[in-house]
Every structure is written in C-alpha cells, then in structure tokens.
Chains A and B, each alone.
Chain A
C-alpha cells in the first residue's frame, strides 16, 4: 500500500471479497540520516494514508523495511545506468528486484497466499497458465512495467484494480469515504522527488560526472559538458550548442565522456540488442512480435531473432536501459532490457 488510491482500493476489494488481508507499505528509501522523505512517494504522510486506510478496512498494517534491497537493486543501478549512458526505468527495476522478488519471497513467512498490488493490469489463469493482460483503463495501463513477470510471480500475484478504470477506482474510494479517494497520482521517480534527476545524481553520486565534449557525428567538438550522466538519447534542450537547426543527442559514449549530437533523422533506430529476456509463460519463440518500448508508447511490429529485435519501421530515440515489452493483443508475452541500439 503506497498510500495512493489504487492500492487502497485493491486492499478494499480483496477484503470485501472475503479474503484475510494484511496491508504493508514498503519503506524503500530514506535520507542520509535515515529520515523518511518528505516529498515524492515513501513519505511519512503516504505511510500515514496507507495506515489509516488499513484501519478503516480493519486489517493489520505494517511497514516493511526494504531500503537495502532498494538501494542495491534500484538506486545503485539507476546511478550506474546514467553514468554509462543508459536511460534507466527504476520503477521496472523495483518491480523486478524488490516487489516481485524480495517481497514476494516473504509471502510464506507471512502466511500469505498471494501478493496484491494496485497496478492497472489484469491477470487470469487459463488452462493452468497465468496470463498477464493490459488493464481495462488503456490510459492507465501498467502492464509494461510488469512485463518481466513469469508464472512464478503471476501465480502468486493479483491485480484487482486492473479490471476497473481509474474513474471507477476513485468512485469506489469515494463511496467508501477513503481519505485517498481524490489524492493526486505521483508522477515523479519516488526517490528523486520533484526535482530533476540530474540534481539527485549530483547529490548522491557526484563521481559519475566526468567532463567531456559534445561533438557532432563527424567528431567536431561543439561544446563542453559536465558529464554524460546529464544526457539522455533524444534530448534536445540543454546541449549548449547553437547550430541553426535542432540537434538531438543521438549517442552517448561513456568511455570517453562524449555526447554525440545529430539531426532528428539520425535518431532512427532499426534494431536493438536485448538482455534479461523473459517470457510470461516461461518460454517464447523468435519471429514476428508486437513490441512496446515506452511506458505509454504505441506497440510497433518487429522481428525477434537471437536476442535482437529488428523494428519493421525505424523507431525514434530508443535508448539502452529501456525495457521492451512484447504483446499479443492485450496479453503480455514477455519483456527484455535494451542494452544496445543500432
């Protein structure tokens, strides 16, 4: 329970369905002296919202400390990715390493059968296999950030609010008089908060900023920069170059601390190299796929061979570090991490 409306309603729905429910909030991040953040998520007021909703539902409620797991699996990775020119998705890493791994592995100890989350996704069991499907509210669908889940995790997880639209979720919360009914959604990266991620990197890992040059694709030095960690593929603003026509970051070379800029058409990516490929059913096949590489992006056709995905049409500004999810209609087939782009 994050203290938001989705997990509040997820808990209420399971409780109403007659399940024996226990609410938990994960403490994932704290300030230098161990204090809880006051902005972003994981704040004391969010935990208080969750606690009060649990009290209203008359279910036990606990705060679980997963700060070590989060630091090792998510934040260190986030810093390392930016330092090496990648564009990380920390929410996906949190799902992969904390929520659906470390937390899920504690269910038996807790005496619980399943983990319930407030994600807008659906799951169902068909012929002994668990399917992961897009949430019924297309605009809020979160199946992309769950695309790494396999049978092991899906069989022990439930997503009750994925059957509803966000509007319906809010209506249920309002009918129950929940304090979280009209709470705005958090859009920030929880540990970064409202500021720019570059400010966060400066604070926690100043060593990742090694000065270098912004160059054009012919290698001409255009401007100095303070470190590749401040750039993402496709970035247009803040390059420090003025060339009459727009320039975009087309490549990041962390080894030499070089940021390569080019014209918009140079952002086109035809194929990507993949790692950590997982299939919802446990196995999958090379061949034609529908792929989505941004949280709220369109799915596009491509061809998968040997951990390489070739897009039918060139795609703009795909970056290493992003996740690609494969779909068959509304069903998630699997997911992978993009490690190289060509």
Chain B
C-alpha cells in the first residue's frame, strides 16, 4: 500500500471510528470522509458522486454489475461477455446460465482481443448487459471499450455496457463518458490501495437489483455498514495513482519492455503471449517452450522473483489459464507460460536482476 494511503486511512480505524449512518458527531466525521472520498473518485473517472458505489472489491463490483443488471431488466435477462474475463465475471455468467438466463461467451483472437462487431452481433433483444474487460489481467491486452460501446449502443440502445477496469486503472485514462459505459469496476489494491476495497460506477438512471440486501446503504445498491477506512483508502490511492500515471506510463512501460527484450534475447524461442500493440504498460506474458511453468515459478520464488500463471486454486496449485486457452494456446502451451506484472514500486534495477534470474533458470531447465 502507498504510505500516504495508509496515513489517510488510519484515523478511520482508530479515533474516527464512527458509523457514517449514525446521528452523532463522530458519525458525521465519518460520513464526511466517506462522501468526500466518493466525490474524489467520481471526479477522477468523470462521474457524478452518487454514481459511485463502494464495494468490497473487484469481484463484488463485477457481481453487482452483471447480476444486478440481469435481475433488474426482465424480460431481457441475457449476458454477452468474452472468454478472457476474470473469474468474477465468468463464474457469474455460469451462475446466470444455471438459472436459465441466456449467456453468450464471445471468443477472442490470438492476441486475446475481441472484435467489437462480434460482440454487437451476439447482442439481441434478450440481452440485458454486455461485459468486456478493459485490460486483461494475464496478457495485458487492451480492448477498445469505446468502440464496443458505440456499435452495441447504436444497434441496441437498451443494452447496458459494463467493463472490468481493475487492471486498467492507474495506467489507462478512465473517463466513463468517453468509454461510453454504464457500469465500471475498479479495485483499490491494484493501484496501491487497501485489499477488500473497490467501487462500481453506476451511470445515473441505471437501476440494479442489489446483490447484498439489507439496511439500504449506498442508495440501496449495496447494503452493509460502510467500511469508511477502505473508502478513504481507495480515494487516496486513486488520487496518488492519477498523480503518478504519467511516470507509470513511461517508466513502468520501459521496465516491462526491458524485461521482454532481455528474456527474448537469451531464450531465443521464447514466445511473447502479450500482444505487440494495444497492450498495457505493466503486463508481460511469455511462453518458454519445454519449460513447465509450475517448476519455473517455484524456482523463481526461491530466487526472490514473484511471477504467476493462470490463477491459483484454493489448495495453491496453478491451473491452466483460460485466457491463454481462449487465445488458442494448447493446455500444454499454457502450462509453459508465465505472467510477470510490474507495479508502481518496480525499478529498472530489480527488473534487470529478475530478467537475469529468469533467463538463467529457463536456460538451466532446458
């Protein structure tokens, strides 16, 4: 977490421990902090304050966006999404399918990119919501959300558009009007904020059935006593990430590109799964033919390099990446692929060292 984020949050975990829904002075302090945080985030993404709903993170925001839209728009209860979404979206899609709602999963090309026309083609009169992630968490592939919104909305004005922008915030400019979205997910821990804190942007006039029912907080869209410290944290982190974005886009991109060049130079048949263009600044997904990623990740961990592959199951074993499979890689090729993600604390020195370690280990394993 960014140090300034923790200092902003800390009072609300100690002295200013009021419930913003209360009527006492200490509650008013908390309420002010909550609403000020809402305003700050709204300003950053080009929204109105009451369009910002505080949640427990990206997964809840995705669930609220999709279930909330589908359950509120009968008789239109369809979902159109892609094969490379986060599990928070794909498992929600699976749940809706089990309830009998029409769900269409649109495929992607070999760069994990979806064709806006194909999305639009999958939308019909039954569709309630379209959900496409802005930046893929495994490959860094960037989708043209504005273009998707344009074609979908032109053909089907009633359809809501959701984007999971968890990986995008902090490196891509996020303006909800420019993107043309009705619903947008952000998660604080991806840009130096606390874990367990997120927001869902909900465009004015978009009615959602809540996922969590209760005391009616957040205009009834998300009940439950407010976690004021987390709300303050995500706002502070969003501001810090915005202030740092120009540096991030140049420095972190340069660091990622350096890693890519060094690894490819040493391991001549390494295949970069991350696309050449239309990619984020901070993801690098590489396949090392003949090297089992499970073994590579273990050895990297022991050398102090934290990388990942697919997503971890509950026991801790790595699974085959559904994103890479959707791009057309075989399960064996997916098992040879690892993902490096760079953050706001990454430095050229440490990444250069990591590149040496990766190259050494891969060479030894082959």
Contact = CB atoms under 8 A, between A and B. Distances in A.
Contacts of A106: 295
Nearest to B301: A60
B219 interface: no
Give the 8 A-B CB pairs with smallest separation, nearest first: A63-B316, A27-B317, A47-B315, A63-B317, A65-B317, A36-B315, A109-B295, A44-B314
B315 A110 contact: no
Contacts of B319: 34, 65
Interface of A: 22, 25, 27, 30, 34-36, 42, 44, 47, 51, 60, 62-65, 106, 109-111
A27 B316 CA distance: 9
Contacts of A110: 295, 298-299
Interface of B: 292, 294-295, 298-299, 301-302, 313-319, 365
Contacts, number: 46
A51 B316 CA distance: 9
Contacts of B365: 109
Contact of A36 (B294, B298, B314): B314
A60 B302 contact: yes
B233 to A, nearest CB: 28
B315 to A, nearest CB: 4
Nearest to B295: A109
A65 B301 contact: no
Contacts of A34: 313, 319
Contacts of B317: 27, 63-65
Contact of A62 (B313, B314, B316): B316
A111 B295 CA distance: 10
A298 B365 CA distance: 46
A217 to B, nearest CB: 49
Nearest to A37: B315
Task: Name the residue among B295, B301, B313, B315 with the largest chain A CB count within 10 angstroms.
Answer: B315
15 contacts: A22-B298, A22-B302, A27-B315, A30-B313, A34-B313, A35-B314, A36-B313, A42-B315, A44-B315, A60-B298, A62-B316, A64-B317, A106-B295, A109-B295, A111-B299
Given A27-B315, A42-B315, A47-B316, 18 more contacts: A22-B302, A25-B315, A30-B313, A35-B313, A35-B314, A36-B314, A36-B315, A44-B314, A44-B315, A47-B315, A60-B301, A62-B294, A62-B298, A64-B317, A65-B294, A65-B317, A106-B295, A109-B295
